Structure 1
Amino acid sequence: MPPEVGFQNIVFDKGKLNDLAMLCFDAVGQWRTAQILDQIKELGFHYATRAGVTFSFDDIVVPKRKDEIIAQADQEVKKITDLHQKGGITENERFGRVVDQWKKTTVRVTDEMMEELSKTRNGLNSIYMMYKSGARGSKDQIKQLGGMRGLMDKPTKIGSTGGADVIETPIKSNFKEGLTVLEYFVSTHGARKGLADTALKTADAGYLTRRLVDVAQNAIITIEDCGTTRGVNMTALKEGNEIVQTLAERIQGRTAVDDIVSPITGRILVSAGEEISNKMARTIQNHGLISVHVRSILTCEAEKGICAKCYGRNLATQKPATIGDPVGIIAAQSIGEPGTQLTLRTFHIGGAASTATELAEVVASHDGIVKFDRMNTVINTENQLISVSYLGKILIVDENDENKVLEEFKVEYAATVHVQDGQKVAKDTKLLSWDQFNNPLISTAKGVLHYENFIKDITYKEEYNDITMARELTIIESKDRRKQPQFRIVGEDGTVRLIPLPTGLIVRVEDGSFVHIGDILGQTSRMTIKQRDITGGLPRVQDLFEARVPKDKAKISDIDGIVTIGGLKKTGRDIFVTPPNGLFAPCDGKVVVLYDEDKNQYIAVLPDKAVYSENDGKVSIIEENRKKIIQVAKRNQNPVQYPVPKGLQILVKEGESVKKGTPLCGKLYAVPPEQESIVETGDNVTMHQPLAGRKYIIPSGKRIIVHQGDYVESGDALSDGPLDPHDMLVKGVIEAQILILNEIQEIYRKQGVKIDDKHVSVIIRQMFKKVRITDSGSTSFLQGDIVDKVLVEKENREAIEFGKTPAQFEQLLLGITKTSLLTDSWLSAASFQETTKVLTKAAIEGRVDHLEGLKESIIIGHRIPVGTGTKLYNNMLKKAVNEGKTVAQIIDEFAHRSKEEESGDYLDF
């Protein structure tokens, strides 16, 4: 080891060797590191040859307690089956529990085997050494040699994207003991699946890489600093109770937006605009900072390409990115390559189901004070606090500063809450727990429950347990849209609570039974068997990159406001959201809904002092002593006069015919456009009750995840289902970008693949480049044009400068194929897809290609505008020749120039 690195007295496995290479790279540079690695390789091969490590059949260790563990599992499975036969649990629940039991058993057997393996020959068992060093093999593969193969996937149809079902009978044998005929037969499913997937998915992954390269090929580092003051907040990444990526790992190599100040010493740890080194990142984490504001590719304001400060560290050189780095190509290949690799992973394990059972509880990872946010809870008969909202969160805040949120947890509907609002908790305190197999439906009212719209084989199906003959009702998608099944709970005081029922709900209460608050009325199955091979993952990654609308997506509120659940229609159930500054009843009273000639809607609230006509007749409005009076008179009869009370408006028009009992005046309000009346004529309302709101129709059978009176924010889901990134644009561009980023990263993380956020961010940045012009103003654009956002903003600035009207536009989210075809370079688009169409369109429009990207430059035979092919480098080369200096000296001079000059150096290729 060189003196700069020092003597390393540790056992080197794969990870440690990686760390050593990084350590050497930082200390002595690339050339010396290559030599050191070469020497390590020589050393390794020398001793590997001398040691003669090999493995044989006898090196595989079968754990001594294996039979005992499997016998215990068989007992547990028998209990579950008995419970099901007595009608205690549903078929779905039984399947889920059995699968979960075998999954846990497989883990126990594996752990026993690894424990024994590590102790044989004092840890020098050749299979164990091979696995432990990271040279070859995984725990999953060794488990099949000496533990038990476990659960297998059912064969699925080719092209299906869902997580495959699992065969609930596990393979209890391992390869050393040998499989029984039946077990071997079940195994062949998995082996065939692995081979088929390998063949099919390699092509898919290759095509994804091609599309990614095409969309990102012109993403190049063009300037040193775009000067933006925007960025994103980085926090540690958590999945359940586990920290997947620490804050230090996420911020190293990024640029700080503001000064990062230590909450302990008050000292500035990193100045604004400075790169956060690895050492500094660890210091920031150790000083207790939970969130850090850093520059991001998503918020970079460079006109062309990306700036070096927003990109941060180049992961290939571990140095800051430099002008001319082809970061787009690097990003595309970094994302595409694991896809190709991962398709082969199923093949090794041979279709063994890796059942990821979700943890059904949440614990605090900090000391602090509990704060409930938008939580609705009820207390059940067992005195437990149950969450009945889908939007609730539990925050853990600092004891000394309530505004400092240490962590936050989304609260599942029907979760049991183990803490109180304002309670002081220590680290590892259990906060929440829930049923991991079922989604229960909780009663929020006390009273007698009645079935409503329960029609056999139209709104529900009836099944009988084979053994107990107990009846089981399951809600099905209604064949009659007007008949939607619901529970009607009538309280002791006569109040009625209606609860709409989602499709798939298994009813757990009888018609006419008495229910209490917090009782479980029914449940839908929550299957947590998730396939871990990328068969399910790759299609989802493609859907996200292509910005496809997910099936059965959630309905999202695009305004903040209060929820009112409306009645049932043929199309589904209406939900209204009334904004905080919207229309609310000013007092108690009756409602009248009115329309004018243009079909505009008005709502009148009639308070106690409202005036009603006491006779039939025609209306005339007169004014006496500055007070308005309404006269109603029949022909040849004396008119009846009705003075208009103060604060009320006239609801009738001059010359209108009215009948006895017609309201003549009340408090009148115009319903804002894009909103509708929530109330109907004749309804009684109370003060502050919402009168109008934005209308959303939730299709029948979908679970509504908000309650009457809930406060929702724009971007909150009103029904269950996956979120559509297009809808999330109401929350803002950054929120939609981060949603896509997190979803893509989650898929890769589940495969055990690490991809840096910045690679995915480069692709997402390209997907959000375009906008659609909605009003051209005084600019050169036309309404409906799809253009680069940067161009519109530039022209808008010029328009405002000269006092003209800027263009109005809406943000677009386009998939990678569409983005590639809409690129400014017609050469690049034509060489990608739809060649004839692209070339014809370019010819008709007389378009010019400025050869700014890599692809078009290669096609024409130009030098590509990256690295030494940049105009900047070319200018330096000319300068070096003219001044008789080396290029290195000129680059040195350039590096010392002021930042103002740097930021102007765009790559005008």
Structure 2
Amino acid sequence: MKEKYLFVPPKPRFTNKVIDKKELKRLMAWAFSNYGTGRASYMADRLKELGFHYATRAGISLSVEDLRVPPTKRSLINRTNEAIQLTEEQYERGEITAIERFQRVIDTWNNASEELKTEVIKYFKETDPLNPIYIMAFSGARGNISQVRQLVGMRGLMADPQGQIIDLPIKSNFREGLTVTDYIISSYGARKGLVDTALRTADSGYLTRRLVDVAQDIIIREIDCGTQRNITIKDMVANNQVLIPIGNRLVGRVLFETLYYPHDGGVIAHINQDLDHETSKIIVDAGIKSVSVRSPLTCDSARSVCQFCYGWNLAHGSLVDLGEAVGIIAAQSIGEPGTQLTMRTFHTGGVFTGELAEQIKAPFSGIIRLPKNIKSRLIRTRHGQEAVVLETSYKLSLYDYTLKEEKIEFTQGTILFINDNEQFRKGQIIGEISTKTNLITERATKDLLTESSGEVFFSDLTSEERVDRQGNITTKTSKGGLVWILSGEVHNLPQSAQLEIKEGDEISENTILATTHITSDYGGIVRFDKKLKFNELNEIQIVTSSVFIKDALVKNEYENDETNSSFFLNFSNGNTFLMLCSPGNKVNNGQIIGELVDTKYQTKTGGFIKYKDHPNNFQGKHRLLWISEETHEIKKDISLLMVENNTYVESGSEIIKDIKTENAGYLKVIEENGIVEKIIIKVGKILKTNKEIEISSEIIETGEEICEGITAEYPCLLEKIDEGILIRPADEYYINKEQFQIETEHSLNGNQSIGINLTQHLLFKEGEKIESIDGIDLVKTYLTVDISSDQIHGSADIEFLETDSKGEYKLQIAIIENLQIKQDAFSEDSKQQIKTDFCVEDGQEILSGALVAQTSLISKSKGRIENITESGQSGRKILILREIDQETINLNGETPQVSEGELVRYGDQIAANIVAKESGKIVALDEDKIRIRTAHPYLVSSGAILQTKNKDLVQMGDTLAILVFERSKTGDIVQGLPRIEEILEARRPKEACKLAQRPGKIKVWYDSEENYHVEILETDNNVNEYIINSTQKVIVSNGENILLAEAITDGAPNPHEMLSLYFNFYINVLGIYEAAKLSLQKVQTYLVNEVQNVYQSQNVDISDKHVEVIVRQMTSKVRVEDGGDTTLLPGELVELQQIENINEAMLLTRGIPATYSPVLLGITKSSLNTDSFISAASFQETTRVLTEAAIEGKADWLRGLKENVIIGRLIPAGTGFNSYSEISKINRNEKKASDGYYFENKNSDSQVVRFTVDENTGYFQDDAKVQ
């Protein structure tokens, strides 16, 4: 029961201002906080009516005419184009590298776009302040500056799908309309935006669910926990910008200690007083930079937060009520703005936009004076400009033309673009302050490709060779310089080509430069492709050997058989083979090409085979004996069986429904577990006899005695059965050893490298059982190919030769040598003219080694053979110097200022009033004219990897060097939702930065392998060394002091590592509980600031306390290292407060306390490790959570909201919060509290009430009213 004292709200003041969105917000907030909900909502209603009333009167609408493009746009675009042109010229002259050119182009367009934006605003303000678009965007109703800029300014630069910026800007806006190119480039970004939104909604919802789950059991359960710990609140600063000022952070907080004015010691606010807007403003005005306040992070309430540590309920602007579910409010406050955050990973594609460096522009035109002893060093900027970096801070003097002086502060690290006594004009960029941001940079490379062919020439370039561990040699530039390409026509020649010219030769058009010869390795008959014209031939076939079958024809179909194969080989003797290959197929030695269609060796049913030649052995025949056995696969219940096992059945008997026997014989049933698996019928007759008969596994021949008085009428096999003996007949099959002969004919003077053989294959082993009802083939006859081993190809082609009858072909198998006429033996370059001459005709027979064709490379242009190089693997190259590669300049009687052999750049002065129109090398100097061989210079920065050598010949598009440069890492500066998730799930960053393990002073040095060594000299004179490889960037400098767990390199810190560093440091000076508390508090502060950074970067305001409630849940647990004498097990996760209570009990009983270390859990892990297994199971991994809880015999105390909802009880929050059960706790704390005063402040005149609890009733009563 909390008493409140009303106070008189301040009188409304008359305000004469333009009310836009911001002012409206402020107005409503003022009404709400001073007059309460009712009046504020009434006022909102009236404002709405006012708005609609005037909207209908004003009739604001948008038309195309309202889109006013500023007239200055054209001149701005022209200026920018000139700047780009200048950049291109500098690149042409080799003054800047390809990377610097790209960077400069991007920045030039970015600046133009920004300038146009300010111009748009200025134009609207000055010429058309009532423009509907202007009113709409700047009142905050809809749209923002960047959208207006796209409508009437220019769309600017866009990124491609990989996130790399395209250096072609969209110069037009939507008012003027986009070109096709603009439209295509725009659609990249548009698609990205749509996909982004779709993914964002889902991600944001899931984040909210996890947050609610982790914090749902945090309820305000008591008034004051009596904690002795606090947090310090300051301005939240990132990148030298104040994100949240201290005044905003203090509102709704409760003071930890009384606050005094710094100048006179007067009281600003008392201990435990909650701060409203007025008090916060007084604190800020008093110049206080940091304030100690209570916070959910430091609250000592078990599994909850107390009123004082939480502070205001921000919805009411007064202290939070008991029983408020602040955990869920916190979760929703953080999750809800999730959809507003972009998902986009921040791709800059190696481009630093203007925001990363703050530019200093000249305030007027004039001259600069630098001090004599200025400490600075020369650098080359990312735009390739020479500039100086100030090593200390200076105030520099700028004078205008009336010699009026103005001093400007230049901080340390500022880049200065102008020299002493140099003139500048108003608005010129004279310096740049690079903001030391936490940008992660990486080493990137870019290939430098040549735009023309010619000869490589190095100028002022020093390089060194390095051999790595694998023995690979790389050439790196140690000092940057120029790589010149002296122009000329370059031809690549294969190693096999024969040169027809030599160095220094003068050549005319159509001169043959080189030839290659194509010869046959084996000889044979030449065959051309008849379908192609002579000049289209790119392959000649030489048939080196072939064979065809004389007395057989291939037909396209076989009348009697419906097989799928379309070709059959019919012999004149009536035999037919099914072809297993088609024309054009390649066949190898021993491959089967046909199978005899034959029923001679087909059995009627399954069974097994015996091999036994006839005793009288007919000449040249082998005998096979086949014992028939019918097998039926059944798989049905035994009750369905219609016959008995081990009985004789007649042919056609029904043995099971719809299954009849094919043969008469002895039936055997194979069953398992009441299921009939198989039924076997052994074909034969039963001989009933009582005589002892010797049964052997051998075949009994015709006429041999089976037993006394009985002889075999046919070959058979005997088997003993219950009723006597089963005589199983054996069918005889004879195989001719000598099959019919195949008559073949060889082409080419009896070359018998290839033949066709007939082979017979027995398909089964002796005694092998074939379980089947249908018959099988015992023997198959095949046609096989026989290629002799001296043939290098090892394969042949199947060919069907046409005959006079339609649909009938002769079968030929030929070994063919394919000779490629390589037109591209020289190169695919269109500059080259290639001519091929054939030295053979179709059908001609040639010997091995004969010349088949000759390909010649013909020069298209006239010139001189300047250079012929041998270049290892790739063969030789020829350089032809043509007329168009040279330029003659008339001197008009002037004296030349250059000498022969000198390299001149585009724009250089050659003689008085004469400049070079192209870069090049002076090759001849006469009295009145100069001849220049044109060339292209490329600037290569130091550290680049060279891909060519001096004097090499290169083709257009070849890589000259790989430029190495630093760029901000793409995709790793994760923003928005993914970053929030990364922080709250406590993920380890992919490329974490190195953290200082102890505080101390820094010393940085390099080693030979480009690794950094950072040494930290600690306070106890210990030296800690960190070796950092070249991929990471060191962000500390010599002599700097570094704090514990501060970053040494760039990248995101790993919060887990941070926690362990703090803990390991503090454990040496504090007790384990204090060390754990303090190290967790450090990490808590880091996490809160990180989350706020992300939200602030997207202009979303969230109160710190919400983030603190969530972070408190992530950092409340410790991992047991050693249980000591407690019941805890190593590796168990326990609340820090709980383990401390257990350890205190251990000290009383003189047992060994447990040791532990603090852990940081992500929100998902936190939810799964909560005390309530019902809550954890309803979140994720239900089975695992419930199983583990059951095995451990856990009890759920139903403290949170979720578990009570699931069980169906009243939730312990709001009206269901039972304050009576908490009273005894509150009473204890009452006596502990510092001086018993609890303040609820509303304004300076408000009353303060002291509450105590009546022992008898348990209700609050106010003891006294204190003014």
TM-score range, shorter chain: 0.5 to 0.7
Q: Equivalent residues in 2 for 1:542-691 (5 A)?
A: 542-561=981-1000, 579-581=1018-1020
Change over 3 Å in CA distance of 1:823–1:477 after alignment to 2: farther
- My pick for the range that moved more, 6-15 or 106-115, is 6-15
User: Is the 2:220–2:307 contact (alpha carbons within 8 Å) kept by the matching residues of 1?
Assistant: yes
The CA deviation at 1:827 is 1.0
- CA deviations on 1:658-692 (whole Å, 9 max, x unpaired) are xxxxxxxxxxxxxxxxxxxxxxxxxxxxxxxxxxx
User: Is the 2:378–2:389 contact (alpha carbons within 8 Å) kept by the matching residues of 1?
Assistant: yes
In structure 1, what residue type is equivalent to 2:1117?
K
- CA deviations on 1:258-283 (whole Å, 9 max, x unpaired) are 22222233212122221122111111
The CA deviation at 1:174 is 0.9
Tell me which residue corresponds to 1:263.
262
User: Is the 2:343–2:978 contact (alpha carbons within 8 Å) kept by the matching residues of 1?
Assistant: no
Tell me which residue corresponds to 1:173.
172
Tell me which residue corresponds to 2:966.
525
The CA deviation at 1:840 is 0.7
Return the alpha-carbon distance in structure 2 between the equivalents of residues 530 and 76 of structure 1: 30
In structure 1, what residue type is equivalent to 2:134?
Y
| The one of 1251, 1259, 1265 aligned to 1:897 | 1251
Return the alpha-carbon distance in structure 1 between the equivalents of residues 1107 and 182 of structure 2: 42
- My pick for the range that moved more, 753-762 or 479-488, is 479-488
In structure 1, what residue type is equivalent to 2:298?
T
Tell me which residue corresponds to 2:1130.
783
Tell me which residue corresponds to 2:867.
none
In structure 2, what residue type is equivalent to 1:140?
S
Tell me which residue corresponds to 2:412.
432
Change over 3 Å in CA distance of 1:325–1:484 after alignment to 2: farther
**Residue 109 (1) aligns with residue 439 (2):** no
| The one of 60, 64, 71 aligned to 1:53 | 60
User: Is the 1:460–1:473 contact (alpha carbons within 8 Å) kept by the matching residues of 2?
Assistant: no
Percent of paired sites with the same residue: 38
User: Is the 1:356–1:530 contact (alpha carbons within 8 Å) kept by the matching residues of 2?
Assistant: no
Tell me which residue corresponds to 1:593.
none
Q: Equivalent residues in 2 for 1:468-547 (5 A)?
A: 507=942, 524-527=965-968, 536-547=975-986
| Ranges in structure 1 where 5+ consecutive residues have no aligned partner | 157-163, 364-379, 389-413, 441-457, 490-504, 512-521, 584-692, 877-890
User: Is the 1:386–1:415 contact (alpha carbons within 8 Å) kept by the matching residues of 2?
Assistant: yes
The CA deviation at 1:386 is 6.9
Tell me which residue corresponds to 1:850.
1197
User: Is the 1:152–1:170 contact (alpha carbons within 8 Å) kept by the matching residues of 2?
Assistant: yes
Q: Secondary structure of the residue that 1:168 maps to in structure 2?
A: coil
**Comparing both structures, which one devotes a greater share of its residues to helix?**
1
Tell me which residue corresponds to 1:373.
none
The CA deviation at 1:476 is 12
In structure 2, what residue type is equivalent to 1:799?
M
Tell me which residue corresponds to 2:29.
22
Tell me which residue corresponds to 1:796.
1143
Tell me which residue corresponds to 1:208.
207
User: Is the 2:1001–2:1039 contact (alpha carbons within 8 Å) kept by the matching residues of 1?
Assistant: yes
Q: Equivalent residues in 2 for 1:77-156 (5 A)?
A: 77-121=84-128, 123-156=129-162
Change over 3 Å in CA distance of 1:480–1:539 after alignment to 2: farther
**Residue 419 (1) aligns with residue 393 (2):** yes
Change over 3 Å in CA distance of 1:488–1:57 after alignment to 2: closer
Tell me which residue corresponds to 1:771.
1118
Q: Equivalent residues in 2 for 1:734-773 (5 A)?
A: 734-773=1081-1120
User: Is the 2:296–2:309 contact (alpha carbons within 8 Å) kept by the matching residues of 1?
Assistant: yes
User: Is the 1:437–1:526 contact (alpha carbons within 8 Å) kept by the matching residues of 2?
Assistant: no
TM-score, with normalisation over the residues of structure 1? 0.66
The CA deviation at 1:523 is 8.8
Q: Secondary structure of the residue that 1:726 maps to in structure 2?
A: helix
**Residue 715 (1) aligns with residue 714 (2):** no
**Residue 220 (1) aligns with residue 219 (2):** yes
Change over 3 Å in CA distance of 1:581–1:432 after alignment to 2: closer
**Residue 290 (1) aligns with residue 289 (2):** yes
| Ranges in structure 2 where 5+ consecutive residues have no aligned partner | 1-8, 362-370, 380-387, 396-405, 416-431, 437-442, 480-939, 947-962, 1063-1078, 1224-1239, 1241-1247, 1260-1267
User: Is the 1:96–1:527 contact (alpha carbons within 8 Å) kept by the matching residues of 2?
Assistant: no
In structure 2, what residue type is equivalent to 1:56?
S
Tell me which residue corresponds to 2:912.
none
Tell me which residue corresponds to 1:359.
357
In structure 1, what residue type is equivalent to 2:147?
Q
Return the alpha-carbon distance in structure 2 between the equivalents of residues 246 and 706 of structure 1: 28
Count of matched residue positions in the alignment of Structure 1 and Structure 2:
677
Change over 3 Å in CA distance of 1:190–1:706 after alignment to 2: closer
Change over 3 Å in CA distance of 1:475–1:246 after alignment to 2: farther
Q: Secondary structure of the residue that 1:171 maps to in structure 2?
A: coil
Change over 3 Å in CA distance of 1:287–1:711 after alignment to 2: closer
User: Is the 1:482–1:570 contact (alpha carbons within 8 Å) kept by the matching residues of 2?
Assistant: no
In structure 2, what residue type is equivalent to 1:244?
L
User: Is the 1:173–1:179 contact (alpha carbons within 8 Å) kept by the matching residues of 2?
Assistant: yes
User: Is the 1:218–1:853 contact (alpha carbons within 8 Å) kept by the matching residues of 2?
Assistant: yes
Q: Equivalent residues in 2 for 1:376-455 (5 A)?
A: 383-385=374-376, 416-419=390-393, 429-434=409-414
Return the alpha-carbon distance in structure 2 between the equivalents of residues 195 and 343 of structure 1: 11
The CA deviation at 1:25 is 1.6
Coordinate RMSD, CA, aligned: 4.7
Tell me which residue corresponds to 1:194.
193
User: Is the 1:460–1:475 contact (alpha carbons within 8 Å) kept by the matching residues of 2?
Assistant: no
In structure 1, what residue type is equivalent to 2:104?
R
The CA deviation at 1:836 is 0.8
Return the alpha-carbon distance in structure 1 between the equivalents of residues 1199 and 993 of structure 2: 40
User: Is the 1:560–1:712 contact (alpha carbons within 8 Å) kept by the matching residues of 2?
Assistant: yes
Change over 3 Å in CA distance of 1:16–1:465 after alignment to 2: same
Q: Secondary structure of the residue that 1:858 maps to in structure 2?
A: helix
- CA deviations on 1:265-324 (whole Å, 9 max, x unpaired) are 321212222112211111111122222222222222221222222222222222222222
**Residue 724 (1) aligns with residue 1071 (2):** no
Change over 3 Å in CA distance of 1:428–1:860 after alignment to 2: farther
Return the alpha-carbon distance in structure 2 between the equivalents of residues 477 and 32 of structure 1: 81
Return the alpha-carbon distance in structure 2 between the equivalents of residues 477 and 230 of structure 1: 60
Change over 3 Å in CA distance of 1:84–1:866 after alignment to 2: farther
The CA deviation at 1:235 is 2.1
Based on CA coordinates, which of the two structures has the bigger radius of gyration?
2
Q: Secondary structure of the residue that 2:356 maps to in structure 1?
A: coil
Return the alpha-carbon distance in structure 2 between the equivalents of residues 778 and 475 of structure 1: 66
Q: Secondary structure of the residue that 1:783 maps to in structure 2?
A: coil
Q: Secondary structure of the residue that 2:1156 maps to in structure 1?
A: strand
Tell me which residue corresponds to 2:664.
none
Change over 3 Å in CA distance of 1:734–1:833 after alignment to 2: same
Tell me which residue corresponds to 1:639.
none
User: Is the 1:219–1:306 contact (alpha carbons within 8 Å) kept by the matching residues of 2?
Assistant: yes
- CA deviations on 1:861-882 (whole Å, 9 max, x unpaired) are 1222221121118999xxxxxx
- CA deviations on 1:352-401 (whole Å, 9 max, x unpaired) are x99562234799xxxxxxxxxxxxxxxx999425799xxxxxxxxxxxxx
In structure 2, what residue type is equivalent to 1:897?
F
**Comparing both structures, which one devotes a greater share of its residues to strand?**
2
